Structure 1
C-alpha cells in the first residue's frame, strides 16, 4: 500500500465533516498543506479545532456553490471533494441544498480544476446503486434508484455529479477520479445525524432504546475510517483511472443492522432495548461492494475488523464533549 500522497497543496471541500476532518488530519500529519473549505451546515469546526494552530492548515467557511476560487493560492495541485450533506436525517430536512451541492457545487469545482489543470477526486457513494436488485455491487451495475423519492436529492445528486465529472473529462480532459464510498464509520461522526453506528453507540451509552427502521435483517458492509483514508491515498496516487468510478468498501464485514445494534449493546453492557419501526422509503435492503477493481489497481484491502473499529469508535464517543 502507498503510505504517502503525491500532492503537496490540497483543497479539501467538506473538510470539517466526518470523513473530511479525518482526512485533513492524516494529510497534515503527512506534511501536506491543506485548504479546508466547509460551510458548517453539517460539518463542525470542533472536528478540526486541533488543526487550527497548524501553519499548513487553512480553514475557509464557505459554500462550494458560491465560493470565489480566486482567493486560493496558485499552487493548489489537487482537490478532494467531500462536500455534501450525507445523512438521511439531514438531507430529508435540506433536500434542495443537498441536490444543488452535487450539481452547482461540483460544476464550480470542475471549472476550477479545468482552469488550473489539476486533479479532482469526487467522493461519490454506494447510494448511487439505490436499492439494488443484486447481492454484490460491481461498478458496472447501473442501479435501482428512485428519482422522485425522499432520498433522491442525495442519490440522484451524486449520480449527476458523476455525470458532470465524466463529461468534463471527455470534453476538456479534466483529470477526475470518482470513488464510491460504502458505509464508513469511526471517530468524528455526528452522533445526531441518524446513521446507525454513532446513533446506536450514543443511545447505548445513555441506556436509551435503539430504533431500527424495518425488520433489522437489512445488511450493510461496514468499513472503518482508517481503511477508507488509505484507499483515498492509493487512488489519488494512480494515473490511469480517469474513465471509470471505483468502489471502496469492506465486503468482509457484512452484518445485519440488528447484529450491529446487539453487538454495541453487549459491548457497552447497556440496558438499552431494540425497538423496530416502519421501514424508511427506498432504504436499500442489502449493500455489499465488489472491490476487485481497487485491489487490482492498488493492492489495497480493508484491514480493520468491525470489532476493532467499534472499540475505537466507542472510545471516541465515551470521551465526546456533548456540549460542543
Structure 2
C-alpha cells in the first residue's frame, strides 16, 4: 500500500484530498496544526484503518516513521482574513514549512506536490493568466505575505528539483469552492452565502466589475490528482475559466438563495486583483483535464452544505474588523 502525507489535512482542500487518496487505496497520513483547519473536516476518517492523523506545525522539524511515497503540501492560510491576521505564520509555512517538507521528501525519496496559487500572478496585466506569465505583485503590500510565500515556495521547489533531482510537482490553484469551506473566512462564495443565510445585505468591494473564475472542489481535486501522477514538473494552472464579474455573481447568489437582500458597496482592498481567469491549455494538454461541474450545479451543492451548518457556525465572525483591516 502506497503511503502519502497530506499537510493542511483539516483544511478545505486538504480534507477533500484525504478523502480522495483514502478512497483510491492509499494509506494517508494527515497533518495539521489547526491554525485555520477544522477537526470536523476529517472526523469521519478518524476510525478509518488507512488514515492516521498527526497534529503538528510543519514549520517545525517533521519526522515520519516508515516509508513515504508521496507528499502533498497544502498547509497554508488561504483566505485574506487568515493571512492578514497571521502574516508571519503565513510567510513561515511557505518558506520554513516548504523547506522542511522538501527535505523530508528527499530523505524518503518521495514525490512531492506543492500547492501554489493564482495569487502568484498578483493583479495581472495579462488576461487570461497562463503559466508563462510572471505576475504583477507588490512585495510590501498587505497581500504580499501570501503572494511572496507562494512565489518563494515555487522557487525552492524547483531548486530542489534541479539541484537534488527531487521529483516535484507544482499546482497553481485558482478560486475553488465547495463543502467544508469556512463560512465567514473572507472569500467570495462563503462570504456571500453567509450574508444571505443571515439575512444581511451582500457586501461588494469596489464597483463589482472585478472578475473571478470559480472551480468546484471535485474538479480541483481531480486536477491535482492527475498532476501528481503526471511527468510534468513545472507549474500547472488548475481552475475553471468560466469568468464572471463579482456584481453578476452577487445576483446569482440572491437568486440561488431565494433571498432579497440589497447589495452594498465598500472600498476595494489594497492590491485586490481586478481580473482572475486561468488559461488551462496546459492542463488540457498534459493532464487531459478540464472542469466538469458547472457553476450552477456546484453552487447548489455548496449552498446545501452551508444551509446544514449550525447557527453557531453561521453567526461566527472570523475577524470583526476585516473591512477596516484590509485597508491598512
TM-score, length of structure 1 as denominator length? 0.94
Taking the aligned partners of 1:17 and 1:303, their CA distance within structure 2 comes to 23
Contact 2:174 2:213 in 1 (8 A): yes
- Please tell me whether residue 297 in structure 1 is matched to residue 286 in structure 2: yes
The one of 223, 226, 238 aligned to 2:218: 226
Contact 2:131 2:237 in 1 (8 A): yes
The one of 92, 96, 100 aligned to 2:88: 96
Taking the aligned partners of 1:208 and 1:214, their CA distance within structure 2 comes to 18
Which secondary structure does the structure 2 equivalent of 1:220 belong to?
Answer: strand
Shift in Å, 1:30: 2.1
Aligned partner of 2:47 in structure 1 is 53
Taking the aligned partners of 2:246 and 2:2, their CA distance within structure 1 comes to 40
Which secondary structure does the structure 2 equivalent of 1:311 belong to?
Answer: helix
Shift in Å, 1:237: 1.2
Shift in Å, 1:88: 0.4
Aligned partner of 1:318 in structure 2 is 307
Contact 2:3 2:27 in 1 (8 A): yes
Aligned partner of 1:241 in structure 2 is 232
Contact 2:171 2:236 in 1 (8 A): yes
Aligned partner of 2:274 in structure 1 is 285
Number of positions where the alignment pairs a residue of Structure 1 with one of Structure 2:
313
Aligned partner of 2:323 in structure 1 is none
Moved more, 180-189 or 18-27: 18-27
Shift in Å, 1:322: 4.1
Mapping of residues 82-231 of structure 1, within 5 Å: 82-231=74-223
Aligned partner of 1:39 in structure 2 is 33
Moved more, 132-141 or 27-36: 27-36
Q: CA-to-partner distance for each residue in 1:139-187, whole Å, 9 max, x for gaps?
A: 0100000000000000000000000001111110111100100000000
Taking the aligned partners of 2:277 and 2:245, their CA distance within structure 1 comes to 12
Which secondary structure does the structure 2 equivalent of 1:288 belong to?
Answer: coil
| Runs of 5+ consecutive residues of structure 1 not aligned to the other structure | 1-6
Taking the aligned partners of 2:160 and 2:79, their CA distance within structure 1 comes to 28
| Runs of 5+ consecutive residues of structure 2 not aligned to the other structure | 314-328
The structure 1 segments of at least 4 consecutive aligned residues displaced by more than 4 Å after TM superposition are none
